[in-house]
Amino acid sequence: MAIRIITDSTADLPLQTRESWGILTAPMGVVFDGKLYLQDIDMTIEDFYARLAASKVIPSTTQVNPETFAERFAPIVEAGDQALAICVSSGLSGTYQSAVIARDSFPTGSVFVVDSRNVTIGAALLVARAVAMREAGEPIERIAQELQDMSRRVVMYAIINDLSYPHKGGRLPTVGLHVLGVLDIKPIVSIWNGVANSVGLARSMRGAYRWIAERAAKEGIDERYGVAFGHTNAPDLVPLLEGAVFPNGTDLQALRHPVGMVLGAHTGPGSVAIAYIKK
């Protein structure tokens, strides 16, 4: 009996990684001018950021419905295998609940659903752990339990570089945009325990890297699970953040990949993030 792993597209795993790991995806998307675009199906990440830069309004985002999850689960169960769905935080999207609704239409024990309590590279760390445990021959019940335990310790910190996008999305007033822009203030946002919070402000990107490095050193990174770095159309920022957190380098397994359409719609281009499991 094989274990098939499904994620929604907000895990933002590159196609090559998904194919190598045998990951199925339930797509989410964004709506520009009333038209829905699904990530990696109707629009590439590169095309999305080009469209976002040209748009005067922030696109709305979608969640995965129960029918889509059921379509992913059905052939797995019919083949006599088991499905493990790892979903974006239930505090950020209704996608997890959609997966639960779909799960309940299948026999008990055939489908397991995990709330990652995170998004993008934070959720990707849980997917990587699930793949490693599957390859080690662990049963799906044990994998799901460990992922749920990990989800309570996974944290992501992101630096918002271009404040015009939170402003266009209604999250920053015009006066705040002007003041922060003049002072070159970079907000730092965390996603932890399922929700997003503004946790710090730094003068300049370099100051923001230092803030995150100090926080990571204080919290401690559980080295068993590696680390992940992500960016919104700004790959050159990843080594700068990585160098601040690990000034002497690191042998930790690291994921490095772009942040996709759904989260990118809220942060805009030029942002960079790190995710890890707290000790």
Q: Is residue 116 one of the residues assigned to a domain?
A: yes
> Are 273 and 216 found together in one domain?
yes
Residue 243 pLDDT exceeds 60:
yes
Does the pTM of the predicted model rise above 0.75?
A: yes
The pLDDT of residue 184: 74
The pLDDT of residue 178: 42
Query: How many structural domains is the chain composed of?
Result: 2
CATH number of the domain enclosing 268: 3.30.1180.10
Question: In the structure, what pLDDT confidence band is assigned to residue 48 with cuts at 50, 70 and 90?
Answer: very high
What residues have CB less than 8 Å from 135, skipping those under 6 apart?
none
Q: Is residue 173 one of the residues assigned to a domain?
A: yes
List, in sequence order, every residue forming a beta bridge with 6; answer none if it has no partner. Answer: 24, 85
Please write the tens of the pLDDT for every residue from 8-38.
999 999 999 999 999 999 999 899 989 999 9
**Helical segments of the chain, H only:** 15-21, 45-54, 66-78, 95-103, 121-135, 140-151, 164-168, 174-182, 204-219, 237-245, 261-267
Which domain range does residue 224 map to? Answer: 154-277
The pLDDT of residue 161: 85
Phi, psi of 90 (to 5 degrees): -65, -15
Residue 95 pLDDT exceeds 80:
yes
> Are 7 and 87 found together in one domain?
yes
Which of 151, 172, 195 is the endpoint of a domain? 151
> Are 22 and 97 found together in one domain?
yes
Mean pLDDT, residues 149-167: 84
Which of 123, 151, 179 is the endpoint of a domain? 151
Please write the tens of the pLDDT for every residue from 174-192.
444 444 455 578 989 999 9
29-32 β-sheet, strand order: 35-38, 29-32, 60-61
